[in-house]
């Protein structure tokens, strides 16, 4: 049935991936690597994240759905819908789901988001898939339609999504300093030993591309997700990466701490130093809290645009009391469902 949730096979895996795609550098590198000529037309300085709940009022709520937007270099916005797909089986109705999501985005846009003559912006749906079976589902909704007479072909719907199969990417064709290429390299590691070797070289690669904000995402991913793929060998590698004081992972964290000192980045100074002092688990929790705070700020910005800055100020104490993504998503839904600021504030306060 439409809107019915499918069970998550590995929620921790999903959450680790989401950490990557809450960073603009990962989204920009994904577009550069996979969007072809379209990427040449985009102004990456304008890339901004929007609340994912903007898309999913009546659809399947998925914590890994993310929505970004970016301007064309000549003006006008492109909405980038990213869906992370980790099911063990291919979803053959994915094109229909993407049509639903795209329709939801367009339907929720205000007049200020449209072009001068009321034109709707382009939506680029992207499916990032890391399952083992090759992806066999149609990537255009029109290909799900059965044979029709030639006279009716013009009425057949067309909507394509961009498919990125992580485990099938040709690493040799991607730049070494591309975050998507680094993720794919870890996913394609055939053994725990190969993964350990990659972990040892990760610090230098992240340092070279000047992306220290992604260190926490890589640490969480390596220690909590990828190592589990290799059974006993993976668990042994997990212990080794956590325990080594002079080894691969501690070197990575130490480099991140130095970047924080040099660049005076508060998150890096505190987050990574606490990870060293109290263990990687607490560093991961801090990253989760930072992600939730970003969600709060995005919803407050939505409320400000819809109802004005005064409403956003009254909303902030409510948001501060909400500590889970589901609760924040419900408030984001209320922004677009309510007609007035008074109705909105009553709903989120539970009056």
Between CA 197 and CA 207, with CA 201 as vertex, the angle to 5 degrees is 160
Average pLDDT by stretches of 10, the chain with 351 residues: 44 66 90 91 92 54 70 91 80 91 87 88 92 90 91 91 92 86 84 71 65 70 63 58 46 43 42 47 65 81 83 88 81 81 87 68
Of 10, 43, 245, residue with least CA distance to 132: 10
Q: How far apart are CA 182 and CA 174, in angstroms?
A: 9
Does this model's pTM top 0.75? My answer is no
**pLDDT in the model for residue 63:** 41
* Domain boundaries along the sequence of the chain: 1-188, 190-278, 289-349
Buried b (16+ CB within 10 A) or exposed e, 314-337: bbeebbeebeebebbbbbbbbbbe
Element (H, E) at 48: strand 42-50
What does the pLDDT look like over 164-218, one tens digit per residue? 998 889 988 888 888 898 888 888 877 767 776 777 666 666 666 666 667 767 7
- The side-by-side arrangement of strands in the sheet containing 66-72 is 42-50, 66-72, 77-85, 122-129, 162-165
Contact 255, 207 (CB under 8 A): yes
How many residues appear in the chain?
351
Question: Do residues 246 and 276 make contact, with C-beta atoms less than 8 angstroms apart?
Answer: no
Q: Look at residue 32 and give its three-state secondary structure.
A: helix
Q: Look up residue 170 and give its two tokens.
A: 């040709």
Say if residue 310 is exposed, middle or buried (CB neighbours under 10 Å; 0-12, 13-18, 19+): exposed
């Amino acid at each position: 049935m439409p809107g019915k949730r499918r069970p998550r096979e590995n929620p921790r895996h999903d959450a680790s991936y989401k950490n990557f795609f809450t960073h603009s550098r990962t989204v920009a590198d994904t577009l550069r690597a996979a969007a072809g000529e379209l990427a040449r037309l985009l102004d990456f300085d304008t890339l901004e994240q929007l609340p994912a709940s903007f898309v999913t009022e009546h659809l399947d709520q998925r914590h890994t759905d993310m929505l970004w937007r970016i301007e064309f270099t000549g003006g006008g916005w492109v909405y980038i819908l990213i869906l992370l797909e980790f099911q063990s089986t291919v979803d053959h109705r994915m094109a229909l789901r993407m049509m639903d999501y795209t329709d939801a985005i367009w339907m929720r846009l205000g007049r200020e988001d449209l072009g001068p003559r009321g034109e709707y912006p382009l939506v680029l749906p992207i499916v990032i898939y890391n399952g083992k079976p090759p992806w066999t589902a149609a990537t255009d909704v029109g290909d799900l339609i059965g044979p029709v007479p030639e006279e009716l072909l013009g009425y057949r719907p067309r909507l394509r999504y961009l498919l990125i199969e992580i485990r099938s990417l040709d690493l040799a064709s991607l730049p070494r300093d591309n975050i998507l290429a680094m993720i794919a390299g870890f996913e394609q590691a055939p053994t725990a030993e190969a993964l350990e070797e990659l972990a040892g070289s990760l610090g230098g690669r992240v340092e070279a591309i000047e992306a220290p904000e992604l260190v926490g995402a890589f640490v969480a991913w390596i220690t909590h997700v990828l190592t589990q793929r290799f059974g006993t060998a993976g668990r042994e590698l997990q212990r080794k990466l956590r325990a080594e004081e002079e080894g691969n992972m501690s070197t990575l964290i130490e480099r991140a701490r130095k970047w924080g000192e040099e660049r005076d980045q508060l998150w890096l100074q505190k987050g990574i130093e606490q990870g060293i002092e109290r263990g990687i688990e607490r560093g991961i929790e801090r990253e989760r809290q930072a992600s939730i705070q970003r969600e709060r700020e995005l919803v407050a910005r939505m409320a400000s645009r819809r109802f004005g800055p005064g409403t956003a100020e009254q909303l902030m104490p409510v948001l501060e009391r909400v500590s889970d993504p589901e609760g924040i998503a419900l408030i984001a839904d209320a922004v677009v469902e309510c007609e007035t600021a008074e109705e909105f504030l009553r709903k989120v306060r539970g009056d």
